Structure 1
């Protein structure tokens, strides 16, 4: 259902999708800013636009897909998310991404949605 919604409606053009509260009230981009637009772009096979909106979304989707395939039994390997230090590594990546995408200098300005 959500896939059909994101395929059918562009989050940039409608009032149907919520705005990011951290950007709206604080003026900073959170790690998820641009994700709705990136999902819409991915569903329309516009990979470049999706990367421009949120570069972290695509690797996150691969990790989540791998985790889901392991949990459902389609893959017989261990999920990346089950490693001992995975939560710490994910947290470091997300916090670093949030910090860097809010810097107003080259090349980090390209991380902003």
Structure 2
């Protein structure tokens, strides 16, 4: 049946898209991402788009391929920042915008040895 083969092909395309090297949601710790251990962020983690997925079917002729960003954007996220006051007098609270890198496009490339 020609129609069912067309539907199967669409399913295969979707499978390839889901598991190939593409931007996908990752949860990142703001303290680690921003390298700030002197403050507390709330929320402590945010979702960002980062490259991930399979490069096993990499068309390049190399031993090892990796999924890397080819287009990156900096996006700002508003979070609550808590910082200890000097002399143990409680916490300073402020809203702040934190810049996080989002990957918009990805590609499989040969990994440097």
Q: Which category describes the TM-score, using the shorter chain as reference length?
A: under 0.3
Greater C-alpha Rg: 2
Query: Which protein has the bigger strand share?
Result: 2
- Would you tell me which structure has more helix in proportion to its own residues? 1
TM superposition score normalised by structure 1: 0.20
- Tell me the TM-score normalised to structure 2 length: 0.20
> Which of the pair has the greater relative contact order for Cα pairs under 8 Å at 6+ separation?
2
